[in-house]
Amino acid sequence: MNRHRLATLGLPVLALCAALGWTLSVRDALPDPVASHFDFTGQPDGFQSLTILTLGMLGTGLLLLLLFQRLSTTRLMSGIGAGTVIFVAALQVLILAPQRGLADAADTTLGAALPLALVAAIAGGALVGALADPPPADPDPAPADSVPLRPGTRAAWFGTARATGFPLWIMLGGMLPLIALAVSAFLDGAWIPAFLLFLAVPVFVMFLGVNVRVDAHGTHWQLFTGIPRGTIPHDEVTRVGAVDIRPGDWGGWGWRMSLQGRAILIRGGEGLRIKRGKKNFYITVDDAARGAALIEAYRGN
């Protein structure tokens, strides 16, 4: 296991194991049920069995660990991912510690558990970010091969990308609860919250896919719903190439922005990198090499 994996995987797993070990060591001194949720004043307002709370901590931590292992290709994302898992583990310990020796969990006073968990998460995330290997520099793509295109001849290329696998499950996992909450709010007569929740659903739907077309006028793209859409004229392109796009470099999927430019990431893998001046535009699309070749041909005419 290399240093990057050891840092991004080893330290968060160690935090989860430490939280589990500590919980098991004090279980006989804890009330049943334990306080698991607190209001803004730090007073308990939710209770559950220690077993359910611990399984929830482990399940949430492992799910986050799996998610961020797919995304942690930069030091920033490595630190955020590790810090999030460490926060879950630390919070379990810090909300249970004040309950030791109590007969009734309702007598618990939360204290500074949340700030301390945040401090632990920030410290752990910073350590992982420092230990993780930085990604290799992403060089400019080599100039795309140009397809033969006679003067006056017109050609077009069409490419698509669809969300599959992990990105698709992430979007469905976010969209379905929104729909359920919107329907519940509507049935309860909360019209404005229901309307706002329903408005959020198309945001998930639009990133189910993207369509790209290259013709004599430029490179045209549109998301699954038809909007947003955009066009990049060929005379504004200074370089184009087919590249392997890693969503972890951008913090995930969707519409992304960073110092290096913009990106529309429906999935990871093959895509176009179009350079406009000093900024880059990335878009995941199948058969990207052929699309880049046609863009290069139009640039040369």
- Please check whether residue 191 is in contact with residue 198, taking contact to mean a CB–CB distance below 8 angstroms: no
- Cα–Cα distance measured from residue 291 to residue 212, given in angstroms and rounded to the nearest whole number: 9
Whether residue 121 is found in the same domain as residue 213: no
Cis amide leading into 228 (omega within 30) = yes
Beta bridge partners of 222: 211, 229
- Please check whether residue 272 is in contact with residue 261, taking contact to mean a CB–CB distance below 8 angstroms: no
Which residue's entry shows tokens 């399940």? 59
Give burial (CB, 10 Å; 0-12/13-18/19+) of 162: middle
**CATH code, domain with 248:** 2.30.29
What pLDDT is recorded for position 220? 92
Q: Which residues of 64-77 are buried (b: 16+ CB within 10 A; e: fewer)?
A: bbebbbbbbbbbeb
For residue 138, tell me if it sits in a domain.
no
- Please check whether residue 171 is in contact with residue 208, taking contact to mean a CB–CB distance below 8 angstroms: yes
Q: Which of 88, 113, 131 is the last residue of a domain?
A: 131
Whether residue 229 is found in the same domain as residue 114: no
For residue 193, tell me if it sits in a domain.
no
- Cα–Cα distance measured from residue 255 to residue 262, given in angstroms and rounded to the nearest whole number: 8
For residue 13, tell me if it sits in a domain.
yes
Degrees, nearest 5: CA angle 232-254-210: 55
- Please check whether residue 167 is in contact with residue 121, taking contact to mean a CB–CB distance below 8 angstroms: no
For residue 259, tell me if it sits in a domain.
yes
Whether residue 112 is found in the same domain as residue 12: yes
For residue 110, tell me if it sits in a domain.
yes
DSSP run (H or E) holding 75: helix 75-96
> What is the spatial order of strands in the sheet that 239-245 belongs to?
239-245, 269-276, 279-284, 261-265, 254-258
- Please check whether residue 127 is in contact with residue 56, taking contact to mean a CB–CB distance below 8 angstroms: no
Amino acid at 9: L
pTM for this model (two decimals): 0.54
Whether residue 8 is found in the same domain as residue 116: yes
- pLDDT tens per residue across all 301 residues of the chain: 456 666 677 788 888 889 888 998 888 888 888 888 877 777 787 788 888 888 888 888 887 777 776 655 566 667 777 888 888 888 888 888 888 888 888 888 877 777 888 888 888 878 877 776 655 545 555 555 556 666 666 778 898 888 777 666 776 666 677 677 777 777 767 777 777 767 777 777 777 888 999 988 889 998 888 888 889 898 888 888 888 888 767 767 777 777 678 888 888 888 999 888 778 889 999 888 888 888 888 876 6
**SS3 category, 254:** strand
Print the domain residue range for 266.
157-163+207-300
- Cα–Cα distance measured from residue 269 to residue 284, given in angstroms and rounded to the nearest whole number: 7
Task: Provide CB contacts within 8 A for 35, sequence distance 6+.
Answer: 44, 46, 47, 95, 99, 105, 106, 108
Q: What is the DSSP string of 17-43?
A: HHHHHHHHHHGGGS-SSEEEEE-TTS-
For residue 139, tell me if it sits in a domain.
no
For residue 180, tell me if it sits in a domain.
no
Cis amide leading into 33 (omega within 30) = yes
How many domains does one find in the chain? 2
**SS3 category, 214:** strand
- Cα–Cα distance measured from residue 266 to residue 162, given in angstroms and rounded to the nearest whole number: 6
Whether residue 127 is found in the same domain as residue 38: yes
- HEC string of 132-159? CCCCCCCCCCCCCCCCCCCCCCCCCEEE
